[in-house]
Structure 1
Protein backbone atom coordinates (compact mmCIF):
# COMPACT_ATOMS: atom_id res chain seq x y z
CA UNK A 1 0.00 0.00 0.00
CA UNK A 2 1.57 3.28 -1.13
CA UNK A 3 1.19 6.66 0.55
CA UNK A 4 -1.43 7.87 -1.93
CA UNK A 5 -3.68 4.87 -1.32
CA UNK A 6 -3.30 5.18 2.44
CA UNK A 7 -4.18 8.88 2.30
CA UNK A 8 -7.23 8.10 0.18
CA UNK A 9 -8.44 5.42 2.59
CA UNK A 10 -7.90 7.66 5.63
CA UNK A 11 -9.73 10.53 3.91
CA UNK A 12 -12.67 8.26 3.04
CA UNK A 13 -12.74 6.86 6.59
CA UNK A 14 -12.80 10.36 8.12
CA UNK A 15 -15.50 11.67 5.79
CA UNK A 16 -17.44 8.40 5.85
CA UNK A 17 -17.56 8.15 9.64
CA UNK A 18 -18.67 11.77 9.87
CA UNK A 19 -21.46 11.12 7.37
CA UNK A 20 -22.52 7.97 9.20
CA UNK A 21 -22.71 9.93 12.48
CA UNK A 22 -24.82 12.60 10.76
CA UNK A 23 -27.08 9.87 9.38
CA UNK A 24 -27.56 8.32 12.81
CA UNK A 25 -28.45 11.71 14.29
CA UNK A 26 -30.92 12.31 11.47
CA UNK A 27 -32.53 8.88 11.78
CA UNK A 28 -32.96 9.21 15.56
CA UNK A 29 -33.99 12.88 15.53
CA UNK A 30 -37.03 13.75 17.65
CA UNK A 31 -37.41 17.26 16.25
CA UNK A 32 -34.44 18.90 17.97
CA UNK A 33 -33.51 22.34 16.52
CA UNK A 34 -30.95 22.11 13.72
CA UNK A 35 -30.95 18.30 13.55
CA UNK A 36 -32.55 16.17 10.88
CA UNK A 37 -33.78 16.70 7.34
CA UNK A 38 -35.32 20.18 7.30
CA UNK A 39 -37.44 21.56 4.46
CA UNK A 40 -40.80 23.27 4.35
CA UNK A 41 -42.84 20.08 4.44
CA UNK A 42 -41.10 18.85 7.59
CA UNK A 43 -41.87 22.11 9.43
CA UNK A 44 -45.59 21.98 8.72
CA UNK A 45 -46.11 18.23 9.04
CA UNK A 46 -44.82 15.98 11.82
CA UNK A 47 -45.64 12.96 9.69
CA UNK A 48 -43.49 14.30 6.84
CA UNK A 49 -40.65 15.08 9.27
CA UNK A 50 -40.53 11.54 10.66
CA UNK A 51 -40.60 9.90 7.24
CA UNK A 52 -38.03 12.27 5.72
CA UNK A 53 -35.66 11.75 8.66
CA UNK A 54 -35.88 7.97 8.30
CA UNK A 55 -35.22 8.06 4.57
CA UNK A 56 -32.48 10.68 4.86
CA UNK A 57 -30.85 8.94 7.82
CA UNK A 58 -30.68 5.54 6.11
CA UNK A 59 -29.44 7.04 2.85
CA UNK A 60 -26.77 9.10 4.58
CA UNK A 61 -25.53 6.12 6.60
CA UNK A 62 -25.34 3.94 3.46
CA UNK A 63 -23.42 6.69 1.64
CA UNK A 64 -20.81 6.77 4.40
CA UNK A 65 -20.55 2.98 4.49
CA UNK A 66 -20.10 2.69 0.71
CA UNK A 67 -17.53 5.50 0.75
CA UNK A 68 -15.40 3.60 3.26
CA UNK A 69 -15.83 0.20 1.58
CA UNK A 70 -14.96 1.50 -1.90
CA UNK A 71 -12.00 3.67 -0.84
CA UNK A 72 -9.32 0.99 -1.50
CA UNK A 73 -10.60 0.44 -5.05
CA UNK A 74 -11.56 3.91 -6.39
CA UNK A 75 -9.61 7.08 -7.08
CA UNK A 76 -10.27 10.33 -5.24
CA UNK A 77 -12.35 11.62 -8.14
CA UNK A 78 -14.63 8.59 -8.16
CA UNK A 79 -14.97 8.65 -4.39
CA UNK A 80 -16.17 12.25 -4.63
CA UNK A 81 -18.62 11.07 -7.31
CA UNK A 82 -19.92 8.36 -4.96
CA UNK A 83 -20.27 10.95 -2.19
CA UNK A 84 -22.18 13.42 -4.38
CA UNK A 85 -24.36 10.71 -5.92
CA UNK A 86 -25.20 9.21 -2.55
CA UNK A 87 -26.05 12.48 -0.84
CA UNK A 88 -27.85 13.82 -3.91
CA UNK A 89 -30.00 10.70 -4.27
CA UNK A 90 -30.71 10.69 -0.53
CA UNK A 91 -31.82 14.32 -0.62
CA UNK A 92 -34.11 13.67 -3.57
CA UNK A 93 -35.68 10.57 -1.99
CA UNK A 94 -36.15 12.34 1.37
CA UNK A 95 -37.78 15.30 -0.36
CA UNK A 96 -40.16 13.04 -2.31
CA UNK A 97 -40.99 11.11 0.87
CA UNK A 98 -41.74 14.31 2.79
CA UNK A 99 -43.85 15.67 -0.06
CA UNK A 100 -45.83 12.43 -0.30
CA UNK A 101 -46.49 12.22 3.44
CA UNK A 102 -47.56 15.87 3.54
CA UNK A 103 -49.95 15.31 0.62
CA UNK A 104 -51.46 12.25 2.31
CA UNK A 105 -51.91 14.15 5.56
CA UNK A 106 -53.49 17.15 3.84
CA UNK A 107 -55.80 14.91 1.81
CA UNK A 108 -57.09 13.31 4.99
CA UNK A 109 -57.97 16.68 6.53
CA UNK A 110 -61.07 18.77 5.95
CA UNK A 111 -60.38 21.66 3.58
CA UNK A 112 -59.72 24.88 5.58
CA UNK A 113 -61.90 27.95 5.17
CA UNK A 114 -60.35 30.84 3.28
CA UNK A 115 -57.36 30.91 0.96
CA UNK A 116 -54.75 30.95 3.76
CA UNK A 117 -51.32 32.48 3.52
CA UNK A 118 -49.67 32.52 0.10
CA UNK A 119 -45.88 32.29 0.11
CA UNK A 120 -44.31 34.02 -2.87
CA UNK A 121 -41.10 32.42 -4.20
CA UNK A 122 -38.05 34.72 -4.35
CA UNK A 123 -36.64 35.88 -7.67
CA UNK A 124 -33.27 34.19 -8.23
CA UNK A 125 -33.22 34.21 -12.04
CA UNK A 126 -29.91 36.11 -12.09
CA UNK A 127 -28.17 33.37 -10.11
CA UNK A 128 -29.64 30.63 -12.29
CA UNK A 129 -28.55 32.42 -15.49
CA UNK A 130 -25.03 32.91 -14.13
CA UNK A 131 -24.66 29.28 -13.14
CA UNK A 132 -26.06 28.13 -16.49
CA UNK A 133 -23.38 30.28 -18.15
CA UNK A 134 -20.68 28.74 -15.95
CA UNK A 135 -21.92 25.28 -16.93
CA UNK A 136 -21.84 26.30 -20.59
CA UNK A 137 -18.22 27.45 -20.29
CA UNK A 138 -17.26 24.16 -18.68
CA UNK A 139 -19.13 22.17 -21.33
CA UNK A 140 -17.22 24.06 -24.05
CA UNK A 141 -13.82 23.29 -22.51
CA UNK A 142 -14.84 19.67 -21.94
CA UNK A 143 -15.97 19.28 -25.57
CA UNK A 144 -12.67 20.76 -26.76
CA UNK A 145 -10.77 18.18 -24.74
CA UNK A 146 -9.20 20.72 -22.36
CA UNK A 147 -10.55 18.86 -19.32
CA UNK A 148 -9.47 15.29 -18.57
CA UNK A 149 -12.03 12.53 -19.04
CA UNK A 150 -11.64 11.44 -15.41
CA UNK A 151 -12.41 14.82 -13.87
CA UNK A 152 -14.89 16.05 -16.47
CA UNK A 153 -17.94 14.11 -15.16
CA UNK A 154 -17.04 15.02 -11.56
CA UNK A 155 -16.76 18.76 -12.18
CA UNK A 156 -19.74 18.76 -14.52
CA UNK A 157 -21.82 16.86 -12.00
CA UNK A 158 -20.85 19.31 -9.25
CA UNK A 159 -21.87 22.31 -11.39
CA UNK A 160 -25.18 20.65 -12.28
CA UNK A 161 -25.81 19.84 -8.61
CA UNK A 162 -25.12 23.45 -7.59
CA UNK A 163 -27.49 24.68 -10.31
CA UNK A 164 -30.21 22.26 -9.19
CA UNK A 165 -29.81 23.31 -5.54
CA UNK A 166 -29.98 26.96 -6.56
CA UNK A 167 -33.25 26.33 -8.38
CA UNK A 168 -34.67 24.47 -5.38
CA UNK A 169 -33.93 27.43 -3.09
CA UNK A 170 -36.69 29.35 -4.86
CA UNK A 171 -39.29 26.73 -3.90
CA UNK A 172 -40.63 27.69 -0.45
CA UNK A 173 -41.85 24.21 0.48
CA UNK A 174 -38.47 22.78 -0.51
CA UNK A 175 -36.19 25.37 1.09
CA UNK A 176 -38.36 26.60 3.95
CA UNK A 177 -35.78 25.85 6.63
CA UNK A 178 -37.52 28.03 9.19
CA UNK A 179 -41.17 27.96 10.24
CA UNK A 180 -41.69 31.25 8.36
CA UNK A 181 -40.39 32.10 4.90
CA UNK A 182 -39.47 35.55 3.60
CA UNK A 183 -37.04 34.48 0.89
CA UNK A 184 -34.01 36.21 2.41
CA UNK A 185 -32.15 33.00 3.17
CA UNK A 186 -33.09 31.50 -0.19
CA UNK A 187 -31.65 34.46 -2.11
CA UNK A 188 -28.43 34.55 -0.09
CA UNK A 189 -28.03 30.79 -0.28
CA UNK A 190 -28.45 31.01 -4.07
CA UNK A 191 -25.79 33.73 -4.13
CA UNK A 192 -23.42 31.57 -2.09
CA UNK A 193 -23.89 28.60 -4.43
CA UNK A 194 -23.27 30.84 -7.41
CA UNK A 195 -19.97 32.01 -5.91
CA UNK A 196 -18.84 28.41 -5.47
CA UNK A 197 -19.95 27.56 -9.00
CA UNK A 198 -18.01 30.54 -10.33
CA UNK A 199 -14.92 29.49 -8.37
CA UNK A 200 -15.03 25.96 -9.82
CA UNK A 201 -15.45 27.36 -13.34
CA UNK A 202 -12.60 29.84 -12.90
CA UNK A 203 -10.22 27.14 -11.69
CA UNK A 204 -11.30 24.84 -14.53
CA UNK A 205 -10.64 27.66 -16.99
CA UNK A 206 -7.10 28.12 -15.67
CA UNK A 207 -6.43 24.40 -16.08
CA UNK A 208 -7.95 24.37 -19.58
CA UNK A 209 -5.73 27.30 -20.62
CA UNK A 210 -2.64 25.43 -19.35
CA UNK A 211 -1.90 28.04 -16.72
CA UNK A 212 1.06 26.97 -14.59
CA UNK A 213 1.38 29.15 -11.50
CA UNK A 214 4.65 29.42 -9.64
CA UNK A 215 4.94 28.90 -5.87
CA UNK A 216 3.51 32.37 -5.20
CA UNK A 217 0.70 31.77 -7.67
CA UNK A 218 -0.24 28.52 -5.96
CA UNK A 219 -0.43 30.29 -2.61
CA UNK A 220 -2.53 33.11 -4.09
CA UNK A 221 -4.91 30.64 -5.76
CA UNK A 222 -5.29 28.69 -2.53
CA UNK A 223 -5.93 31.82 -0.47
CA UNK A 224 -8.40 33.13 -3.06
CA UNK A 225 -10.28 29.83 -3.15
CA UNK A 226 -10.51 29.64 0.63
CA UNK A 227 -11.59 33.28 0.76
CA UNK A 228 -14.41 32.70 -1.72
CA UNK A 229 -15.59 29.58 0.12
CA UNK A 230 -15.55 31.31 3.52
CA UNK A 231 -17.33 34.34 2.08
CA UNK A 232 -19.99 32.09 0.52
CA UNK A 233 -20.48 30.37 3.88
CA UNK A 234 -20.72 33.77 5.57
CA UNK A 235 -23.41 34.89 3.12
CA UNK A 236 -25.43 31.70 3.70
CA UNK A 237 -25.16 32.00 7.50
CA UNK A 238 -26.12 35.67 7.38
CA UNK A 239 -29.19 34.78 5.36
CA UNK A 240 -30.10 32.07 7.87
CA UNK A 241 -29.88 34.59 10.71
CA UNK A 242 -31.98 37.17 8.87
CA UNK A 243 -34.57 34.51 8.02
CA UNK A 244 -34.88 33.66 11.70
CA UNK A 245 -33.31 30.20 11.59
CA UNK A 246 -30.84 30.35 14.49
Structure 2
Protein backbone atom coordinates (compact mmCIF):
# COMPACT_ATOMS: atom_id res chain seq x y z
CA UNK A 1 0.00 0.00 0.00
CA UNK A 2 1.53 3.33 -1.06
CA UNK A 3 1.17 6.67 0.70
CA UNK A 4 -1.60 7.88 -1.62
CA UNK A 5 -3.76 4.81 -1.00
CA UNK A 6 -3.25 5.09 2.75
CA UNK A 7 -4.14 8.79 2.67
CA UNK A 8 -7.30 8.02 0.68
CA UNK A 9 -8.45 5.34 3.13
CA UNK A 10 -7.72 7.56 6.13
CA UNK A 11 -9.67 10.39 4.48
CA UNK A 12 -12.63 8.11 3.95
CA UNK A 13 -12.49 6.75 7.50
CA UNK A 14 -12.17 10.02 9.40
CA UNK A 15 -14.46 12.06 7.15
CA UNK A 16 -17.00 9.22 7.11
CA UNK A 17 -16.99 9.03 10.92
CA UNK A 18 -17.35 12.81 11.09
CA UNK A 19 -20.41 12.65 8.81
CA UNK A 20 -21.94 9.82 10.82
CA UNK A 21 -21.55 11.79 14.06
CA UNK A 22 -22.92 14.97 12.50
CA UNK A 23 -25.82 13.05 11.00
CA UNK A 24 -26.67 11.46 14.35
CA UNK A 25 -26.56 14.85 16.09
CA UNK A 26 -28.77 16.34 13.39
CA UNK A 27 -31.31 13.50 13.55
CA UNK A 28 -31.59 13.71 17.34
CA UNK A 29 -31.45 17.51 17.56
CA UNK A 30 -34.05 19.15 19.75
CA UNK A 31 -33.22 22.70 18.75
CA UNK A 32 -29.78 23.05 20.34
CA UNK A 33 -27.75 26.09 19.14
CA UNK A 34 -25.65 25.38 16.06
CA UNK A 35 -26.93 21.82 15.53
CA UNK A 36 -29.25 20.61 12.81
CA UNK A 37 -30.38 21.63 9.35
CA UNK A 38 -31.08 25.37 9.60
CA UNK A 39 -32.52 27.56 6.87
CA UNK A 40 -35.26 30.14 6.88
CA UNK A 41 -38.12 27.65 6.81
CA UNK A 42 -36.82 25.74 9.83
CA UNK A 43 -36.29 29.03 11.66
CA UNK A 44 -39.94 29.95 11.24
CA UNK A 45 -41.49 26.51 11.73
CA UNK A 46 -40.76 23.93 14.42
CA UNK A 47 -42.56 21.34 12.33
CA UNK A 48 -40.30 22.05 9.35
CA UNK A 49 -37.21 21.90 11.60
CA UNK A 50 -38.06 18.45 12.96
CA UNK A 51 -38.83 16.90 9.57
CA UNK A 52 -35.84 18.48 7.82
CA UNK A 53 -33.49 17.31 10.59
CA UNK A 54 -34.68 13.75 10.18
CA UNK A 55 -34.13 13.79 6.43
CA UNK A 56 -30.73 15.51 6.57
CA UNK A 57 -29.59 13.34 9.50
CA UNK A 58 -30.39 10.07 7.74
CA UNK A 59 -28.86 11.27 4.47
CA UNK A 60 -25.65 12.40 6.16
CA UNK A 61 -25.27 9.12 8.07
CA UNK A 62 -25.76 7.08 4.89
CA UNK A 63 -23.22 9.25 3.03
CA UNK A 64 -20.67 8.72 5.82
CA UNK A 65 -21.14 4.94 5.89
CA UNK A 66 -20.85 4.60 2.11
CA UNK A 67 -17.78 6.86 2.05
CA UNK A 68 -16.00 4.55 4.49
CA UNK A 69 -17.00 1.45 2.52
CA UNK A 70 -15.94 2.86 -0.87
CA UNK A 71 -12.67 4.53 0.21
CA UNK A 72 -10.47 1.40 -0.29
CA UNK A 73 -11.75 0.91 -3.85
CA UNK A 74 -12.46 4.30 -5.46
CA UNK A 75 -9.86 6.93 -6.47
CA UNK A 76 -9.82 10.14 -4.45
CA UNK A 77 -11.53 12.11 -7.19
CA UNK A 78 -14.45 9.72 -7.36
CA UNK A 79 -14.74 9.74 -3.57
CA UNK A 80 -15.03 13.53 -3.66
CA UNK A 81 -17.62 13.31 -6.44
CA UNK A 82 -19.58 10.71 -4.47
CA UNK A 83 -19.42 12.85 -1.33
CA UNK A 84 -20.69 15.91 -3.19
CA UNK A 85 -23.49 13.87 -4.75
CA UNK A 86 -24.55 12.39 -1.41
CA UNK A 87 -24.48 15.64 0.53
CA UNK A 88 -26.02 17.57 -2.36
CA UNK A 89 -28.94 15.14 -2.54
CA UNK A 90 -29.31 15.31 1.25
CA UNK A 91 -29.46 19.10 1.25
CA UNK A 92 -31.94 19.10 -1.64
CA UNK A 93 -34.35 16.66 0.02
CA UNK A 94 -34.01 18.38 3.40
CA UNK A 95 -34.74 21.74 1.79
CA UNK A 96 -37.79 20.49 -0.10
CA UNK A 97 -39.04 18.77 3.07
CA UNK A 98 -38.67 21.96 5.12
CA UNK A 99 -40.36 24.03 2.41
CA UNK A 100 -43.28 21.59 2.12
CA UNK A 101 -43.82 21.37 5.88
CA UNK A 102 -43.67 25.14 6.28
CA UNK A 103 -46.22 25.65 3.50
CA UNK A 104 -48.52 23.02 5.01
CA UNK A 105 -48.34 24.80 8.34
CA UNK A 106 -49.11 28.08 6.63
CA UNK A 107 -52.35 26.62 5.31
CA UNK A 108 -53.64 26.15 8.85
CA UNK A 109 -52.61 29.47 10.37
CA UNK A 110 -51.53 32.93 9.39
CA UNK A 111 -47.82 33.67 9.75
CA UNK A 112 -46.12 37.02 9.87
CA UNK A 113 -43.63 37.53 7.06
CA UNK A 114 -40.84 40.12 6.98
CA UNK A 115 -41.38 42.83 4.43
CA UNK A 116 -38.20 44.86 4.53
CA UNK A 117 -35.73 44.74 1.66
CA UNK A 118 -32.62 42.74 2.36
CA UNK A 119 -29.29 43.85 0.91
CA UNK A 120 -27.04 40.97 -0.19
CA UNK A 121 -23.75 40.68 1.72
CA UNK A 122 -20.47 41.41 -0.02
CA UNK A 123 -18.41 38.29 -0.62
CA UNK A 124 -16.35 39.51 -3.58
CA UNK A 125 -12.96 38.99 -1.92
CA UNK A 126 -13.80 35.40 -1.05
CA UNK A 127 -14.93 34.72 -4.61
CA UNK A 128 -11.66 36.23 -5.88
CA UNK A 129 -9.56 34.06 -3.53
CA UNK A 130 -11.41 30.91 -4.53
CA UNK A 131 -10.98 31.78 -8.20
CA UNK A 132 -7.21 32.00 -7.66
CA UNK A 133 -7.11 28.65 -5.83
CA UNK A 134 -9.28 26.95 -8.46
CA UNK A 135 -7.23 28.47 -11.29
CA UNK A 136 -3.99 27.14 -9.81
CA UNK A 137 -5.50 23.68 -9.37
CA UNK A 138 -6.70 23.54 -12.96
CA UNK A 139 -3.30 24.71 -14.21
CA UNK A 140 -1.72 21.75 -12.40
CA UNK A 141 -4.28 19.38 -13.94
CA UNK A 142 -4.18 20.74 -17.49
CA UNK A 143 -0.37 20.95 -17.68
CA UNK A 144 -0.05 17.29 -16.76
CA UNK A 145 1.69 17.92 -13.44
CA UNK A 146 -0.88 15.64 -11.77
CA UNK A 147 -1.58 12.00 -12.74
CA UNK A 148 -4.43 11.92 -15.25
CA UNK A 149 -5.82 8.58 -14.13
CA UNK A 150 -6.50 9.36 -10.48
CA UNK A 151 -9.47 11.73 -10.70
CA UNK A 152 -7.64 14.91 -9.70
CA UNK A 153 -9.73 16.86 -12.20
CA UNK A 154 -12.82 15.99 -10.16
CA UNK A 155 -11.12 17.32 -7.04
CA UNK A 156 -10.42 20.58 -8.86
CA UNK A 157 -14.08 20.68 -9.91
CA UNK A 158 -14.95 20.68 -6.22
CA UNK A 159 -13.44 24.16 -6.03
CA UNK A 160 -15.71 25.39 -8.82
CA UNK A 161 -18.65 23.92 -6.92
CA UNK A 162 -17.60 25.81 -3.78
CA UNK A 163 -17.16 28.97 -5.85
CA UNK A 164 -20.72 28.62 -7.16
CA UNK A 165 -22.04 28.05 -3.62
CA UNK A 166 -20.26 31.19 -2.42
CA UNK A 167 -21.94 33.23 -5.13
CA UNK A 168 -25.27 31.61 -4.22
CA UNK A 169 -25.12 32.38 -0.50
CA UNK A 170 -24.45 36.02 -1.33
CA UNK A 171 -27.98 36.13 -2.74
CA UNK A 172 -30.17 35.44 0.29
CA UNK A 173 -32.97 33.57 -1.43
CA UNK A 174 -33.68 31.26 1.49
CA UNK A 175 -31.87 33.02 4.33
CA UNK A 176 -34.02 36.16 3.89
CA UNK A 177 -36.91 34.39 5.62
CA UNK A 178 -35.20 35.18 8.92
CA UNK A 179 -36.77 38.30 10.41
CA UNK A 180 -33.43 39.80 11.48
CA UNK A 181 -31.24 38.84 8.55
CA UNK A 182 -27.86 40.59 8.81
CA UNK A 183 -25.77 38.68 6.26
CA UNK A 184 -23.42 37.16 8.85
CA UNK A 185 -24.32 33.60 7.89
CA UNK A 186 -23.53 34.22 4.22
CA UNK A 187 -20.15 35.73 5.13
CA UNK A 188 -19.38 32.80 7.44
CA UNK A 189 -20.19 30.26 4.74
CA UNK A 190 -18.08 32.19 2.21
CA UNK A 191 -15.11 32.07 4.61
CA UNK A 192 -15.66 28.35 5.22
CA UNK A 193 -15.77 27.54 1.50
CA UNK A 194 -12.59 29.57 0.97
CA UNK A 195 -10.76 27.60 3.68
CA UNK A 196 -11.76 24.30 2.06
CA UNK A 197 -10.73 25.53 -1.40
CA UNK A 198 -7.32 26.58 -0.08
CA UNK A 199 -6.90 23.17 1.56
CA UNK A 200 -7.68 21.39 -1.74
CA UNK A 201 -5.10 23.48 -3.61
CA UNK A 202 -2.50 22.76 -0.94
CA UNK A 203 -3.12 19.03 -1.26
CA UNK A 204 -2.69 19.13 -5.04
CA UNK A 205 0.52 21.15 -4.76
CA UNK A 206 1.95 18.61 -2.30
CA UNK A 207 1.08 15.77 -4.69
CA UNK A 208 2.99 17.57 -7.47
CA UNK A 209 6.03 18.29 -5.30
CA UNK A 210 6.01 14.87 -3.58
CA UNK A 211 4.48 12.37 -6.05
CA UNK A 212 5.88 9.38 -4.15
CA UNK A 213 4.92 10.52 -0.68
CA UNK A 214 5.54 8.17 2.22
CA UNK A 215 2.91 7.34 4.85
CA UNK A 216 4.76 9.68 7.22
CA UNK A 217 3.84 12.61 4.99
CA UNK A 218 0.25 11.39 4.68
CA UNK A 219 -0.32 11.78 8.42
CA UNK A 220 0.41 15.55 8.69
CA UNK A 221 -1.53 16.14 5.46
CA UNK A 222 -4.49 14.33 6.99
CA UNK A 223 -4.25 16.41 10.16
CA UNK A 224 -4.08 19.63 8.14
CA UNK A 225 -7.08 18.60 6.06
CA UNK A 226 -9.15 17.60 9.08
CA UNK A 227 -8.18 20.82 10.82
CA UNK A 228 -9.30 22.85 7.81
CA UNK A 229 -12.60 20.96 7.62
CA UNK A 230 -13.34 21.39 11.32
CA UNK A 231 -12.39 25.07 11.17
CA UNK A 232 -14.67 25.58 8.16
CA UNK A 233 -17.50 23.81 10.01
CA UNK A 234 -16.84 26.01 13.04
CA UNK A 235 -17.04 29.17 10.90
CA UNK A 236 -20.29 28.04 9.30
CA UNK A 237 -21.95 27.03 12.58
CA UNK A 238 -20.81 30.16 14.41
CA UNK A 239 -22.08 32.43 11.67
CA UNK A 240 -25.41 30.59 11.64
CA UNK A 241 -25.74 31.10 15.38
CA UNK A 242 -24.88 34.80 15.08
CA UNK A 243 -27.47 35.15 12.33
CA UNK A 244 -30.13 33.77 14.63
CA UNK A 245 -30.58 30.20 13.30
CA UNK A 246 -30.67 28.31 16.58
Aligned mates of 1:243, 1:110 — CA distance in 2: 24
Aligned mates of 2:119, 2:164 — CA distance in 1: 19
Q: CA offsets, 1:175-218, max 9 Å, x none?
A: 57987321134224313432442453366457668999xxxxx9
Q: CA offsets, 1:83-108, max 9 Å, x none?
A: 33322331233223323433444466
1:39 aligns to 2:39 (yes or no): yes
Question: Match of 1:215?
Answer: none
Task: Single out whichever of 171-180 and 190-199 deviates more from structure 2.
Answer: 171-180
- Residue 135 to residue 110, structure 1, CA distance change in 2 (3 Å): same
Question: Match of 2:215?
Answer: none
Question: Match of 1:147?
Answer: 146
1:16 aligns to 2:21 (yes or no): no
Structure 2 portions without partners, runs of 5+? 213-217
Query: Retained in 1: the 8 A contact 2:59–2:90?
Result: yes
SS in 2 for 1:164: helix
Task: Single out whichever of 53-62 and 93-102 deviates more from structure 2.
Answer: 93-102
Aligned mates of 1:207, 1:3 — CA distance in 2: 11
TM-score (norm 1): 0.70
1:96 aligns to 2:96 (yes or no): yes
Q: CA offsets, 1:131-188, max 9 Å, x none?
A: 2344344334423323322242342232023213312332435457987321134224
Question: Match of 1:167?
Answer: 167
Aligned mates of 1:245, 1:205 — CA distance in 2: 37
Structure 1 portions without partners, runs of 5+? 213-217
Count matched residues. Answer: 242
1:71 aligns to 2:62 (yes or no): no
Aligned mates of 1:5, 1:203 — CA distance in 2: 14
TM-score (norm 2): 0.70
| CA RMSD across the alignment | 4.6
Higher relative contact order (CA 8 A, sep 6+): 2
Residue 56 of structure 1: CA displacement? 0.5
Q: CA offsets, 1:102-133, max 9 Å, x none?
A: 34444665586x97333322122332244234
Residue 37 of structure 1: CA displacement? 0.7
Aligned mates of 2:54, 2:243 — CA distance in 1: 27
